[in-house]
Amino acid sequence: MARLDKKFFQQKTEHVASQLLGKILVRKLGQRTLSGMIVETEAYAGPHDLASHAAKGKTKRTSVMFAEAGLWYVYSIYGFYHCLNIITERKDYPSAVLIRSLVPLEGIKYMEQSRKIDSLINLANGPGKLCQALKIDKALNNTSAVLKNSILFIENRGIKIAAQNIIKAARVGVDYAGVWKNKPLRFYVKDNKFVSNKI
């Protein structure tokens, strides 16, 4: 299994976001392994992206975004949910990719328990849902995805998504971002049922 390394995440954010489609997000929980295939991402690219938390400058919360590629940025939103991002590009250039939805692969029973539902389709088809399913919370914020002992990382298992099956669209939930809200920085796999509902 080829685990994605720091070099992968140091590439341009849009490129990382599109290339993450078809990769496997793996969560180690003690002896247990939970995993899913990434089918939807969003790029938050640079200090001028008004949709990015980092657009307002470096604060306690966003300081992770200014750090090195390959770190996880986990934040809580609306009091209930968490969102999972991976830091990209270079140090001091705030950028990250939000992972928005997964096709559940390993540990499905356990994920169903965590989510308190038994609907496969609703298990991880949204940023808040996948964090609940994989037991991701702020404890993982600022930890690394590219170390040997990482408990949350991404693997390449040889699945290739053809370029014509990668759809670019405007990002979700960023109406406040002015001209940036319509930029095609969201990527998802064409016709995949596990992409979050808002198209």
Partner DNA sequence: CAAGAGATCATCT
Partner DNA sequence: GATGATCTCTTGA
**Can you give the binding site for DNA, defined by CB under 7 A?**
42, 44, 51-54, 56-57, 59-62, 65, 73, 75-81, 83, 85, 96, 98, 115, 117, 122, 126-129, 138, 171-174, 176, 196
CA 72, CA 66: separation in Å to the nearest integer? 12
Asked if 13 and 44 count as a contact pair (C-beta separation under 8 A), the reply is yes
CB of 149 to DNA, least distance (A): 25
CB of 138 to DNA, least distance (A): 7
CB of 161 to DNA, least distance (A): 21
Q: How far is CA 4 from the centre of its chain?
A: 14
In our burial notation (b when 16+ CB lie closer than 10 A, e otherwise), range 48-76 reads: ebebbbbbeeeeeebebbbebbbbbbbee
Rama region for 140: left / alpha / beta (φ>0; ψ in -120 to 50; rest): alpha
Closest CB to DNA among residues 2, 178: 178
CB of 115 to DNA, least distance (A): 6
Closest CB to DNA among residues 173, 184: 173
Closest CB to DNA among residues 117, 166: 117
Q: Which of 108, 120, 128 is nearest to 198 (CA)?
A: 128
Residues 6+ away with beta carbon under 8 Å from 80 = 128
Residue length, the chain?
199
CB of 21 to DNA, least distance (A): 16
Closest CB to DNA among residues 42, 107: 42
Rama region for 58: left / alpha / beta (φ>0; ψ in -120 to 50; rest): beta
Closest CB to DNA among residues 107, 164: 107
Closest CB to DNA among residues 30, 75: 75
CB of 155 to DNA, least distance (A): 21
SS3 50: coil
